[in-house]
């Protein structure tokens, strides 16, 4: 039975949704996505803090190092198929078995190759560290289980986001209970790598069970070579873009662990965990704002730009509301959460907070990218940002340690999200809106 968010609205609001199925469905899906993210934020903070304290900087840094390696490879192995697959499933639902079967096979082969690449990277980066090798190999198994997210894509195409949300929330809850049990049993670090992989396995089981209940049978899927070629041809820019964005956001952890050791990485990753809690807020705002901004783009250019300016203003105010308390109180809060052994994380936290500024504006800026169809430009800026981040890390980390990694990422984000926009004629107007929202957030849009 579906639980609809609209059922909880007052009668007068429910009446306004009567006969507007698309709006009601969007509201329900947004509510379930928000609930899913809220559960992850709360559970991730509570269980995550306990886990960070239990493992200590060295072991938590080792686990974070393995996660970062698998994450970089996984960003490439995902192949960016999902966005194209959703579109095709919506447009041609009668061909769903062919589409799903083809995507499943492609993802499966990419996941297997990704596991081998992870193994090779672990050996290349740390030839003698057998413990790290084991962690990477365990966590890389998650790439194989992630293949079953084609069912999640199917639910999205059918407008049944609440199904996926239920599955993810159940899997996350079970995985959190497992982590708590491991902490109480004083398990070794490799057990938590298994728990991370087990969480993805639980998602896969949930997708299979929910799909079976809704009549989705994998035995009816077929591989179609011509669709495979079409899917790969359309998705490769998304693959490169996704990889570049992930590298830009996470390569600092790999380089920090390699150059300064896992203890230093553990301090950095602990501080980043606090900051990451707040990254779901701009995503929720984007989900709510996207249809209204797209509608304004079709109806009125002035209204379109006013709504863009307003979302940038909201993102900036949201950054201030989160950043100021974290800068002033965050260091003491970090020590209180993680313990005095994480004093290094407390020092890093006020600097890491500024990543939220670029996260908020990057998420909002994607609305303009989508509505203007500037995907190639977005890919170019992501690639440039990733290269800049890697190069700067090579110089900044030896000189300044973890603070150097933070500086490198902030510079690369500034170039990607702001500086390069000035070089593209269509992006300059949007750049002016972003700058105005920072300098004059109290000012209404005047055209």
Where along the chain do its domains lie?
278-447
pLDDT at 160 exceeding the cut of 50: yes
pLDDT at 378 exceeding the cut of 60: yes
More confident residue, 293 or 343: 343
Tokens encoding 154: 């199917």
Tokens encoding 431: 């750049």
Residue 399 has a pLDDT of 93
| Residue matched to tokens 């209940």 | 213
Q: What is the DSSP letter of 4?
A: -
Residue 7 has a pLDDT of 53
More confident residue, 274 or 41: 274
More confident residue, 302 or 35: 302
Residue 9 has a pLDDT of 46
Burial of 14 (0-12, 13-18, 19+ CB in 10 A): middle
- Can you give the pTM of this predicted structure? 0.80
> What are the Cα distances from residue 303, in Å, to 46, 300, 313, 317, 412?
42, 5, 15, 21, 32
**Segments in 78-160 forming alpha helices (H):** 81-91, 96-125, 130-140, 142-145, 149-157
> At 13, is the pLDDT very low, low, confident or very high (cuts 50, 70, 90)?
very low
Residue 12 has a pLDDT of 43
> At 27, is the pLDDT very low, low, confident or very high (cuts 50, 70, 90)?
low
> At 372, is the pLDDT very low, low, confident or very high (cuts 50, 70, 90)?
confident
> At 269, is the pLDDT very low, low, confident or very high (cuts 50, 70, 90)?
very high
> At 447, is the pLDDT very low, low, confident or very high (cuts 50, 70, 90)?
low
pLDDT at 79 exceeding the cut of 70: no
> At 287, is the pLDDT very low, low, confident or very high (cuts 50, 70, 90)?
low
More confident residue, 414 or 40: 414
pLDDT at 353 exceeding the cut of 90: yes
Mean pLDDT on 122-144: 90
- The rounded percent of the chain whose pLDDT value lies above 90 is 40
Mean pLDDT on 377-400: 92
Highest mean pLDDT among 42-46, 96-100, 346-350: 346-350
pLDDT at 337 exceeding the cut of 60: yes
Other beta carbons within 10 angstroms of residue 190's beta carbon come to 16
| Residue matched to tokens 């492609």 | 106
pLDDT at 1 exceeding the cut of 50: no
| Phi, then psi, of 444 in degrees rounded to 5 | -80, 155
Mean pLDDT on 14-34: 58
Residue 435 has a pLDDT of 93
Q: What is the DSSP letter of 424?
A: S
Q: What is the separation of C-alpha 269 from the centre of its chain, rounded to a whole number of angstroms?
A: 16
> At 30, is the pLDDT very low, low, confident or very high (cuts 50, 70, 90)?
low
pLDDT at 18 exceeding the cut of 80: no
Reduced to 3 states (helix: H, G, I; strand: E, B; else coil), residue 187 is coil
Q: Is the dihedral of CA 407, 409, 412, 413 positive or negative?
A: negative
Other beta carbons within 10 angstroms of residue 305's beta carbon come to 20
Closest CA to 413 of 375, 385, 384: 385
Mean pLDDT on 66-95: 80
């Amino acid at each position: 039975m579906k639980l609809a968010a609209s059922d909880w609205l007052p009668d007068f609001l429910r009446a306004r949704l009567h006969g507007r199925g698309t709006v009601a469905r969007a509201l329900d899906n947004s509510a379930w996505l928000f609930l899913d993210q809220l559960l992850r934020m709360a559970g991730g903070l509570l269980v995550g803090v306990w886990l960070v304290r239990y493992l200590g900087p060295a072991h938590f840094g080792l686990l974070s190092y393995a996660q970062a390696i698998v994450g970089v490879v996984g960003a490439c192995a995902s192949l960016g198929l999902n966005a194209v697959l959703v579109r095709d499933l919506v447009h041609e639902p009668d061909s769903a078995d062919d589409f799903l079967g083809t995507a499943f096979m492609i993802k499966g082969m990419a996941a297997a190759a990704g596991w081998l690449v992870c193994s090779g990277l672990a050996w290349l980066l740390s030839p003698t560290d057998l413990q790290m090798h084991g962690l990477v190999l365990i966590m890389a198994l998650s790439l194989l289980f992630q293949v079953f997210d084609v069912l999640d894509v199917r639910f999205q195409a059918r407008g049944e986001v609440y199904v996926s949300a239920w599955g993810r929330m159940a899997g996350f809850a079970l995985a959190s209970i497992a982590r708590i049990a491991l902490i109480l049993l004083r398990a070794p670090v490799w057990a938590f790598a298994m728990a991370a992989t087990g969480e993805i396995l639980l998602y896969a089981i949930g997708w299979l069970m929910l799909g079976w209940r809704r009549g989705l049978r994998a035995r009816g899927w077929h591989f179609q070579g011509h669709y495979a070629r079409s899917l790969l041809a359309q998705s490769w820019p998304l693959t490169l873009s996704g990889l570049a964005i992930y590298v830009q956001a996470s390569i600092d952890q790999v380089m920090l662990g390699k150059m300064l050791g896992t203890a230093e990485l553990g301090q950095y990753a602990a501080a980043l965990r606090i900051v990451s809690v707040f990254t779901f807020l701009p995503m929720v705002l984007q989900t709510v704002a996207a249809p209204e901004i797209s509608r304004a783009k079709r109806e009125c250019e002035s209204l379109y730009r006013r709504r863009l300016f307003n979302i940038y203003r909201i993102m900036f105010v949201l950054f201030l509301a989160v950043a100021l308390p974290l800068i002033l109180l965050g260091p003491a809060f970090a020590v209180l959460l993680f313990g005095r052994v994480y004093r290094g994380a407390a020092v890093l936290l006020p600097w890491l907070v500024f990543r939220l500024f670029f996260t908020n504006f990057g998420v909002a800026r994607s609305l303009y990218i989508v509505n203007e169809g500037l995907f190639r430009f977005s890919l170019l800026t992501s690639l440039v940002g990733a290269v800049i981040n890697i190069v700067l890390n090579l110089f900044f980390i030896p000189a300044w340690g973890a603070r150097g990694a933070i500086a490198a990422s902030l510079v690369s984000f500034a170039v990607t999200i702001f500086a390069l926009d000035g070089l593209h004629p269509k992006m300059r107007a949007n750049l002016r809106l972003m700058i105005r929202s920072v300098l004059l957030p109290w000012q209404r849009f005047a055209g």
